[in-house]
Amino acid sequence: MFRTIAEFTSAWQGESGSTLKLMQALTDGSLGQQVSPEGRSLGRLAWHIVQTLGEMGGHAGLTIDGANEKTPQAAGAAAIAVAYRAGATALEKAVTTTWKDA
């Protein structure tokens, strides 16, 4: 549980930074790899994470510039990583400008 915006942003920067490294490790060739026979591909999972930033931020009363649950999947691994970075940055900005510690 976070008690201050600073606690959240510190944790968010670490977690989103780690996730960005993962996104940047994806290749166009890896996007089609299935995680399990019935499961999503790596590309679909990565895009789901990107979409979730805007979707969950919206449920928390934040307006996040970037992809949301209705945005079609970006073409290519590099575009997914760019979209993630933009969404993660937008989420942090929305939290720090909208929420207060009180």
pLDDT band at 96 (very low <50, low <70, confident <90, very high): very high
pLDDT band at 65 (very low <50, low <70, confident <90, very high): confident
Predicted local confidence at residue 69, as pLDDT: 86
pLDDT band at 68 (very low <50, low <70, confident <90, very high): confident
50-72 burial, b if ≥16 CB within 10 A, otherwise e? Answer: bbebbbebeeeebebebbbeeee
